[in-house]
């Protein structure tokens, strides 16, 4: 097939490209960087007509209840979410079932889980909604290659191979998968709908938020054409006002620096964010890098929009992200190889692009305020997982408050697609809840103590069951205070990339050695990576300069001045800086005295709240280290079996499964494997 695609490129795409450019075509706006704004005006209220649909005579929706299944797939982080009469019933990432991190395949297992959670099957659904429109995406792909031809042959052939499969035949692929899940041919087919990518993001943010009216800001790599949108939601309605289009993308810009600093695109962006505080804030080096970026790579506008200077980037029609040779000449050093030494110039570069990203997001928020007049802002899209930029928006005071979809990336598009169809296609009523409609983001599978005990007894695993959960919390709090690392497995699995106290590894934040222990002996990841705190919501102000809740780890906050320790004598090397305590809770205090915090309330997660209370009673500190229950390169654990395997493969000291406590000392003294060659994540 490669020969066929090569002929297609030279016979059709290349001549079309020459003719297109001869006639002055510039759909990618490669020659428009001097204009005052990169925004495309699109003042449009979404409705029924915006959903590309495949209708069947037998698929008339039932009046009640209205069951809508949302699906995201075929790029990365595939997922499924079920909405019944406007209530989010279940949502899950496919990677948690298949154990393939960022699994892009059809979310067969996640769909089956969502249906089982509601006690229904495929034929009981009124609609299945895919999170984007593949045909529009394919059109953008072709227009991009026409714009760049004759460059891009290798990328074109690779793209055609991918699209010739399930991507271009998404409809038939969905029916095939649904038939497989049902276990028989479908007699009654649900309606099949296709949302827009950024509509799905916008709906996931607005319809799940607690606000009656809000400005909506979505920022990611790219959907069909849009890379950034500004809109407004009010009641059941949702409108888009402005869009930025491919290739001009804040998400792709940040990913380019992720690659250049030696991390993996589409998963390493949070590492770049975590590396930024090691840069020398206010230094001539950071200032120089910012100027180089602003003068050569990006042309920012006052309204927050911008153009990328595409001569430095190759992602539009190439297999790589940037022109390495040009970037090396620009910055004076080459792209870092994965796992290579982290030199200071990469830390400074990370800080430079983080500050530019912060400034861009704040400017976009100001424009959203000007266009909508709303008091509140909601956000989604992959860039909305950048908690540092989120905090800059929140502390700017532009809006009274900011709410962000916990699964802000593409997985969250599944939920947004279902919510959008419920309100905009079927005319269903939006249900506004306090603090929000996400149920704490605990929307995945749960396992009872009986199921856990069945596994433990079957495998002959030593354990201790507590009849009283309060007694269990007291015992675990004591172990944590003795510097133990504890796997904590409770209730329904989290939706989104963060562990929020149901699939978590917990530790004492007062320990000066805990960050090193967790990174190197439990998570098996880079030593510079920071850890997040979970803190009792009513105690948050004792540790952090914040007055607002942060239940989903999507905002940062500075440690209060009274808890900080000077860093002047800590040395300048990375290891010296890492090993210098920065506060009385050093395990969660980053180099710039910040932390990505989770505030925990009894209403949101009573069991985790009780453990924090028990730890406070034991130590006087209502705060714990909370990191995801997984090791490098693997998804967060979902089942008791996976939790036990992770417990045994690492230097965790204790494991709690429901009301059951396991001690490493009581387990078989098998020789632990040498650290596996964990996948680069």
What does the pLDDT look like over 266-279, one tens digit per residue?
999 999 999 999 99
**Domain of 470: which CATH number?**
3.90.870.20
Whether 384 and 289 share a structural domain: yes
CA-CA distance, 528 to 159, in Å (whole number)?
36
Paired with 657 in beta bridges are 489, 660
Q: What is the pLDDT of residues 61-110, one digit of tens each?
A: 556 799 999 999 999 899 999 999 999 999 999 999 999 999 999 999 99
pLDDT tens track for 161-204: 888 876 778 999 999 999 999 999 999 999 999 999 999 999 99
**Domain span at residue 582?**
449-666
Over the stretch 380-438, which tens digit does the pLDDT of each residue have? 999 999 999 999 999 999 999 999 999 999 999 999 999 999 999 999 999 999 999 99
Is 347 in a helix, a strand, or coil? helix
Answer yes or no: is pLDDT of 55 > 60: no
Does residue 3 lie within any of the structural domains? no
Region 101-127 average pLDDT: 97
**Residue 550 reports pLDDT greater than 90:** yes
Give the number of other CB atoms < 10 A from CB of residue 343. Answer: 11
pLDDT score of 14: 87
CB neighbour burial string for 374-405, b if at least 16 within 10 angstroms, e if fewer: bebbbbbbbbbbbbbbbbbbbbeebbeebbbb
Question: Do residues 434 and 579 both lie within one domain?
Answer: no
User: Scanning the structure block, which residue is given the tokens 């006002």?
Assistant: 241
Q: What is the spatial distance between Cα 160 and Cα 317, in angstroms, rounded to a whole number?
A: 12
Identify whether residues 614 and 474 lie together within a single domain.
yes
Tell me the C-alpha distance between 603 and 582, whole Å.
32
Q: Residue 115 and residue 112: Cα distance in Å, rounded?
A: 5
User: Residues 650, 627: one domain?
Assistant: yes
pTM over 0.75? The answer is yes
- Kindly indicate the confidence band of residue 674, based on its pLDDT and cuts at 50, 70 and 90: very low
pLDDT at position 570 is 47
Domain check: are 328 and 367 in the same one? yes
Q: Can you tell me which residue has the tokens 């909508």?
A: 372
Q: Cβ distance 195 to 51 under 8 Å? A: yes
Does 138 map to a domain? no
Whether residue 390 sits in one domain with residue 274: yes
pLDDT for 569: 47
367: its two tokens: 């424009």
- Position 3 scores a pLDDT of 83
pLDDT band at 529 (very low <50, low <70, confident <90, very high): very high
CATH code where residue 60 lies: 3.30.420.40
In a domain, 155, yes or no: no
Taking the CA of residue 416 as centre, how many other CA atoms within 13 Å lie in the half-sphere pointing to its CB? 33
- Helix then strand then coil, % of the chain, to nearest 5: 40, 20, 40
**Torsion sign (Cα): 562, 566, 570, 576:** positive
Q: Give the confidence band of 568 by pLDDT, cuts at 50, 70, 90.
A: low
State mean pLDDT over 12-17. Answer: 84
Per-residue pLDDT averaged across 626-634, rounded?
A: 97
Inside any domain, residue 475: yes
Q: What confidence score (pLDDT) does residue 566 get?
A: 86
- Residues 1-27 have a mean pLDDT of 82
CA dist 199 and 195 (Å) reads 7
User: How much of the chain exceeds pLDDT 90, in percent?
Assistant: 85
Residue 672 has pLDDT above 70, yes or no: no
How high is the pLDDT of residue 162?
84
Do 522 and 457 share a structural domain? Answer: yes
DSSP conformation class of 165 = I
Cα 155 to Cα 150: distance, rounded to the nearest angstrom: 11
Flag whether 300 is in a domain. Answer: yes
Same domain, 417 and 486: no
Q: Are residues 193 and 237 in the same domain?
A: yes
**Is 479 among the domain residues?**
yes
Classify the C-alpha dihedral 343-261-637-387 as positive or negative: positive
Residue count (the chain): 681
pLDDT for 25: 85
- Proportion of the chain above pLDDT 70, given as a percent: 96
Mean pLDDT of 540-559: 97
Sheet containing 503-507: order of strands: 464-465, 660-663, 654-657, 486-489, 503-507, 623-628, 532-536, 598-600
pLDDT of 264 reads: 95
Statement to judge: residues 419 and 495 lie in one domain: no
Per-residue b or e along 281-291, where b marks 16 or more CB atoms closer than 10 Å to that residue's CB? eeeebbeebbe
Please tell me whether residues 307 and 367 are part of one structural domain.
yes
Flag whether 83 is in a domain. yes
- Angle of the 284-296 helix axis to the 344-372 helix axis, nearest 10: 60
Looking at the structure, tell me whether residues 421 and 547 fall in a common domain.
no
Q: How far apart are CA 90 and CA 109, in angstroms?
A: 13
Over the stretch 315-354, which tens digit does the pLDDT of each residue have?
Answer: 999 989 999 999 999 999 999 999 899 999 999 999 999 9
Residue 530 lies in a domain: yes
pLDDT surpasses 50 at 503: yes
Query: Helix, strand, or coil here: 287?
Result: helix
User: Residue 7 and residue 452: Cα distance in Å, rounded?
Assistant: 58
The rounded mean pLDDT for the chain is 94
Count Cβ neighbours within 10 Å for each residue of 112-129 and write b for 16 or more, e otherwise. Answer: bbbbebbebbbeebbbbb
58, pLDDT greater than 60: no
Measured between alpha carbons, how far is 551 from 553 in angstroms, rounded to an integer? 6
Q: What is the pLDDT of residue 671?
A: 52
Cβ atoms of 358 and 523 within 8 Å: the answer is no
Total count of domains within the chain: 3
């Amino acid at each position: 097939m490669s020969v066929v695609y090569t002929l297609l490129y030279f016979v059709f795409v290349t001549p079309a490209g020459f003719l297109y450019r001869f006639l002055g075509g510039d759909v990618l706006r490669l020659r428009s960087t001097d204009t005052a704004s990169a925004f495309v005006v699109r003042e449009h209220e979404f409705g029924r007509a915006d959903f590309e649909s495949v209708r069947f005579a037998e698929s008339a929706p039932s009046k009640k209840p209205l069951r809508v299944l949302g699906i995201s797939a075929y790029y990365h982080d595939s997922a499924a979410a079920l909405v019944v009469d406007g209530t989010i019933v279940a949502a899950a990432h496919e990677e948690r079932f298949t154990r393939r991190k960022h699994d892009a395949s059809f979310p067969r297992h996640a769909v089956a889980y969502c249906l089982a959670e509601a006690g229904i099957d495929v034929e009981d659904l009124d609609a299945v909604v895919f999170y984007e429109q593949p045909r529009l995406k394919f059109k953008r792909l072709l227009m991009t290659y026409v714009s760049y031809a004759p460059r891009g042959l290798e990328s074109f052939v690779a793209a055609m191979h991918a699209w010739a499969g399930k991507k271009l035949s998404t409809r038939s692929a969905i029916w095939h998968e649904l038939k497989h899940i049902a276990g028989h041919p479908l007699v009654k087919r649900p309606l099949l709908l296709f949302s827009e990518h950024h509509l799905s993001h916008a709906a996931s943010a607005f319809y799940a938020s607690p606000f009656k009216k809000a400005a909506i800001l979505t920022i990611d790599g790219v959907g069909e054409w849009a890379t950034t949108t500004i809109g407004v939601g009010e009641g059941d309605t949702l409108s888009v006002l402005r869009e930025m289009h491919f290739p001009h993308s804040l998400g792709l810009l940040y990913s380019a620096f992720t690659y250049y600093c030696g991390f993996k695109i589409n998963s390493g962006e949070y590492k770049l964010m975590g590396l930024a505080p090691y840069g020398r804030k206010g230094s001539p080096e950071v200032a120089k890098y910012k100027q180089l970026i602003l003068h050569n790579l990006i042309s920012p506008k006052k309204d927050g929009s911008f153009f990328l200077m595409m001569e430095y980037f190759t992602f539009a029609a190439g297999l790589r992200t940037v022109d390495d040779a040009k970037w090396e000449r620009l910055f004076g050093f080459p792209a870092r190889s994965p796992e290579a030494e982290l030199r200071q110039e990469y830390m400074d570069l990370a800080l430079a692009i983080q500050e530019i990203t912060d400034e861009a997001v704040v400017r976009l928020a100001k424009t959203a305020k000007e266009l909508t007049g709303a008091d509140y802002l909601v956000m989604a899209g992959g860039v909305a997982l950048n908690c540092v930029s989120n905090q800059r928006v929140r502390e700017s005071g532009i809006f009274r408050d900011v709410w962000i979809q916990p699964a802000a990336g593409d997985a969250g598009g599944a939920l947004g697609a279902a919510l959008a169809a419920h309100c905009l296609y079927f005319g269903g009523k939006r249900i506004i809840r306090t603090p929000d409609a996400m149920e704490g983001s605990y929307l995945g599978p749960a396992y009872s103590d009986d199921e856990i005990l069945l596994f433990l007894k079957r495998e002959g695993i030593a354990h201790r069951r507590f009849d009283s959960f309060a007694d269990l919390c007291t015992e675990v709090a004591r172990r944590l205070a003795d510097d133990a690392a504890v796997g904590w497995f409770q209730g329904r699995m989290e939706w989104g990339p963060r562990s929020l106290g149901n699939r978590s590894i917990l530790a004492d934040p007062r320990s000066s050695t805990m960050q090193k222990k967790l990174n190197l002996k439990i998570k098996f990841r880079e030593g510079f990576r920071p850890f997040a705190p979970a803190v009792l919501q009513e105690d948050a102000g004792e540790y952090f300069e914040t007055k607002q809740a942060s239940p989903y780890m999507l905002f940062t906050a500075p440690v209060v001045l009274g808890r900080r320790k000077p860093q002047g004598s800590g040395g300048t090397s990375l290891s010296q800086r890492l090993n210098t305590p920065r506060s009385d809770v050093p395990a969660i205090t980053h180099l710039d005295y910040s932390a990505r915090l989770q505030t925990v309330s009894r209403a949101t997660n009573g069991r985790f709240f009780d453990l924090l209370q028990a730890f406070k009673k034991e130590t006087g500190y209502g705060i714990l280290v909370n990191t995801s229950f997984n090791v490098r390169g693997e998804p967060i654990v979902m089942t008791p079996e996976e939790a036990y395997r992770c417990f045994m493969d690492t230097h965790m000291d204790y494991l709690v499964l429901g009301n059951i406590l396991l001690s490493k000392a009581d387990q078989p003294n098998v020789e632990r494997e040498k650290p596996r060659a964990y996948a680069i994540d």
